[in-house]
Structures are given as structure tokens and as C-alpha cells.
């Protein structure tokens, strides 16, 4: 019995009321039965939740979570920048020369027209895999000249154009301070599929908020792409909300951020280039209309072109520097041609008669809005400037009208003509055949009218026979002749 009593005593847990631990806790001013902090709720509190920490321990936990997040974010950014720089150093090669790309003339022309006049609104390229979409987009960046940007500015601000300046640079200009500039290559920013809206638009700089206790803005990809090119591969797989944000910024030339108590507007003027595979899905019509030009490409089929393309790629992989040096003269000539075209496009003119014909084509195609009319005029002027002329002709409009209106036509499953083919057919009737709007509209109504039913009988039945079958269903037997 004594042994059992000893066991029971040992099993009993000491009460906190009279223990040394309880007295120590009371001396420190803490309760013995203090509840543990709700860590998931405090983590949410550390990253934007409305719940506020109550006790000192909870506040310390929140601060530690914020500092840990800032340190991890800083390490990840440093690692990403170091990785990209190491990759560039290790690669040590330039992009594939633009002038050595075989085929894909429409895609190359669409890129050049956007370089000449950025107001066209970008380019959307849809084609099968392995057709060189990404190669051509990365190659066009070498044709763009270097730009002057303000030092220590995250938005690639221009030292002369106020529309391309950030608020800080404009304040420096108003105060009369001299701006320090540097020459830099035109930026090419790629938007990955896994990017979030904070990374694209920008968000609160957590590191500076913790270290200095002040609110600061961390620029996103739209700020880095200012005065450059924003490239989205597999744009048809990108989240629609991100596509809307990017297209709004591209159309307006500015990006407005309202979040975490920060309100900022910065310039975001860039050329929007999107590529995708139609087998993986299509874009919504509302998003298609936001792209200025649209091109459909396919793999080159002629044996000579395929052979030349394979040989060029093999030489580039073996010795990129030597292959680029061979095309340097052609690249420089194209650069000078683009620079001259950018200056010449300001003087290009489109006659009123030509504008009326363009609007007639858009009306016959039932194009929604006037964005299509404006894009056709701008693209035709850019093409005329590229060809060395200041007067736009019918041939200039015919060369670009398919790229401008092909993706804006309404899709009809019963219509045998596709978007670009239908645009070319209507263009030919207005520009080449000289038909008016009323003539083409009558032809369309006549072709859409239902066909008249054929006469039912081939040998011909007399009127009495038709009357005798009145009231009977088709194929019903009305009985023998002469029988009632």
C-alpha cells in the first residue's frame, strides 16, 4: 500500500499555485497560464491583415516575421540578378541576327512597323511551335538604338521628354537641378507566365519599410519596360487579369498603382509583343482588339528555305560571334533605314480619299469601334516611311490592311473566308474594282439571302393531282386511282 501511495504521489503534477515557476512568472509580471500566440493569424497580420497584435510577445513575433520575409526577398532578388548576370557572362553571345532570319516576312514587317511608330499598338503572333517566334522578337532588340536615361532612376526616365519622366525627375527639373544621364541599351523585358500582379505593376518595398520605417514603392516589370519592349511568350496562357493590366498600361502609356497605402503613377510606354500557339487556346475578342497588328505564321515548307535556316542556325550555335560579324553590315544598314524611317514618318500624309476607302472597308467588315481605322492609317504611314516615301498609296494600305483588321473581324462558322482572307477580298472590291459601299453591301445581302426552294415535281403533276393530295402528309398513301 505504501508503494502504491508513493506512485500516486509521483504521478501527481505539481500545481503552479505554490511552485517556484509560478512565483518566477508572477515576478516577471506574466500570467502562469498565458495562452500561446496564434501564429497563423499573426503571420497574416504581418503581411497585410487587419488584425493588430495585442501583447508584446505578439508584436515581437510580427516584427520577426516581417524581417525574415524582407531578408528572404532580398536574397531571392540578389540570387536572381546574379544568376541572370552569370548566365549572360557564361553565354557571352549576341542574339540571332535579324537579317539572317529566313521567311516569316509578315512577322518581321510587323515588328519593324512598331519600331518605326510605337502608336500602332504592338504585335500579336500566333503560330505553331518551332517557327522561330521568340528568336525573331529577341533579335529585333539589336536594331534599336541606345537611349539616354536619368541616372539612379528606376523608370528609365527620359531627360528631355516630360511624358516619359517619373515624378521625382519632374521635381528635379522644376527645381532647376541638372540631370545626370547615361547611355543604355533599349530594354527588353520578358513577362513570365507565373508572374503575379504585384510583380508586374509594383508593390510596397518591405525592406525599406522595415529598415527606415517609411513607405516606398518597389517598381515592377512595367517600370523596367518603359521606353523598351515588353515580350509575353504564350500570351494565350497568361491570366486574363494580367493581360488587361498590361494592355491598359500599353494603351495609356502610364501605370497607376493603388495598394498598401501607396498611390503612384509612373510612365510605362513600351512596345507590346505577344506570341502564342493557337492549339493551346485563343485570346478573348476584347483582348485581340487591343493588339495593333496580328500575324499568323507557319513553318517554312520549301526545301531551300528549310536548308538555309538549318545551316544558319548551325553556324550560329558553333560560333555566334563570327556569325554575327558576317551579318554586321546588313544589321547596320537596317538600323540606319529604321532611324531614317522614324524621322520620315512624321511627314507622311494620307489623302482624304484614301481615308474614306479605309473607313469603307472597316464598315463593310463590321469592325467595332474606330481603333481599326486608326491602326490602318498609322501602319500604312509607317510602311511608306520604311519604303522611303512620304505619300501613302493604295499598295501601302494593301500591304498592312490584313495585319491590322484580320483579328478584328467577327468570326462566323458558316463563312468559308477567314479573317485575313475576308479582309483582302473586301479590300480588293473597294480599292481595285472601284465599287462603292452600296454596291458591296448589296452583293453581301444577295449572297446571304436564303436559296429559293426547287420545284418539288420533275415530271410535273397536274393541278388536279396536287389538289387531290391536299391535306396529306409527305409520303402518305392516298389510295388507288379511281377508288373512293
C-alpha distance across the termini of the chain, in Å: 121
Question: Cα separations (Å) of 175 from 168, 170, 172, 179, 336?
Answer: 11, 9, 5, 11, 37
Those residues with Cβ within 8 angstroms of residue 117's Cβ, 6 or more apart along the chain or in another chain: 342, 345, 378, 379, 381, 382
Active site residue 119: no
Q: Which of 43, 67, 371, 389 is catalytic?
A: 371
Those residues with Cβ within 8 angstroms of residue 335's Cβ, 6 or more apart along the chain or in another chain: 143, 145
Catalytic positions: 371
Amino acid at each position: 500500500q505504501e508503494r502504491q501511495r508513493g506512485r500516486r504521489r509521483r504521478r501527481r503534477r505539481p500545481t503552479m499555485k505554490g511552485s517556484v515557476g509560478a512565483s518566477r512568472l508572477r515576478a516577471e509580471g506574466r500570467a502562469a497560464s498565458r495562452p500561446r500566440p496564434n501564429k497563423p493569424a499573426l503571420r497574416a497580420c504581418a503581411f497585410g491583415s487587419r488584425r493588430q497584435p495585442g501583447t508584446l510577445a505578439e508584436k515581437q513575433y510580427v516584427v520577426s516575421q516581417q524581417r525574415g520575409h524582407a531578408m528572404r526577398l532580398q536574397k531571392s532578388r540578389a540570387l536572381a540578378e546574379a544568376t541572370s548576370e552569370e548566365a549572360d557572362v557564361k553565354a557571352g553571345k549576341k542574339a540571332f541576327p535579324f537579317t539572317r532570319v529566313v521567311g516569316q516576312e509578315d512577322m518581321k514587317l510587323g515588328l519593324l512597323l512598331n519600331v518605326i511608330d510605337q502608336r500602332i499598338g504592338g504585335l500579336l503572333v500566333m503560330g505553331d511551335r518551332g517557327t522561330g517566334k521568340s528568336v525573331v522578337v529577341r533579335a529585333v532588340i539589336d536594331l534599336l538604338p541606345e537611349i539616354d536615361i536619368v541616372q539612379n532612376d528606376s523608370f528609365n526616365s527620359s531627360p528631355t521628354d516630360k511624358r516619359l519622366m517619373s515624378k521625382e525627375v519632374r521635381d528635379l527639373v522644376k527645381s532647376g537641378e541638372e540631370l545626370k544621364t547615361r547611355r543604355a541599351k533599349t530594354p527588353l523585358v520578358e513577362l513570365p507566365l507565373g508572374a503575379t500582379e504585384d510583380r508586374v505593376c509594383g508593390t510596397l518595398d518591405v525592406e525599406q519599410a522595415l529598415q527606415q520605417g517609411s513607405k516606398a514603392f518597389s517598381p515592377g516589370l512595367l517600370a523596367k519596360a518603359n521606353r523598351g519592349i515588353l515580350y509575353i511568350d504564350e500570351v494565350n496562357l497568361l491570366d486574363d487579369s494580367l493581360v488587361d493590366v498590361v494592355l491598359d498600361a500599353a494603351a495609356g502609356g502610364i501605370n497607376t498603382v493603388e495598394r498598401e497605402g501607396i498611390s503612384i503613377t509612373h510612365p510605362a510606354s513600351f512596345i507590346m509583343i505577344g506570341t502564342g500557339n493557337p492549339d493551346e487556346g485563343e485570346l478573348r475578342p476584347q483582348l485581340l482588339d487591343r493588339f495593333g497588328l496580328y500575324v499568323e505564321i507557319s513553318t517554312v515548307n520549301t526545301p531551300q528555305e528549310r536548308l538555309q535556316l538549318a545551316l544558319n542556325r548551325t553556324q550560329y550555335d558553333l560560333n555566334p560571334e563570327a556569325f554575327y560579324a558576317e551579318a554586321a553590315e546588313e544589321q547596320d544598314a537596317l538600323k540606319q533605314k529604321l532611324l531614317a524611317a522614324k524621322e520620315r514618318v512624321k511627314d507622311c500624309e494620307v489623302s482624304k480619299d484614301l481615308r474614306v476607302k479605309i473607313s469603307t472597308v472597316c464598315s463593310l467588315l463590321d469592325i467595332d469601334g474606330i481603333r481599326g481605322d486608326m491602326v490602318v492609317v498609322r501602319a500604312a504611314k509607317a510602311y511608306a516611311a520604311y519604303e522611303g516615301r512620304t505619300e501613302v498609296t493604295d499598295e501601302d494600305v494593301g500591304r498592312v490592311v490584313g495585319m491590322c483588321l484580320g483579328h478584328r473581324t467577327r468570326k462566323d462558322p458558316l463563312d468559308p473566308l477567314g479573317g485575313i482572307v475576308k479582309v483582302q477580298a473586301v479590300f480588293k472590291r473597294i480599292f481595285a474594282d472601284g465599287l462603292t459601299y452600296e454596291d458591296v453591301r448589296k452583293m453581301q445581302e444577295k449572297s446571304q439571302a436564303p436559296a429559293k426552294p426547287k420545284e418539288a415535281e420533275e415530271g410535273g403533276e397536274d393541278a388536279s393531282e396536287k389538289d387531290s393530295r391536299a391535306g396529306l402528309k409527305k409520303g402518305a398513301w392516298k389510295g388507288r386511282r379511281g377508288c373512293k
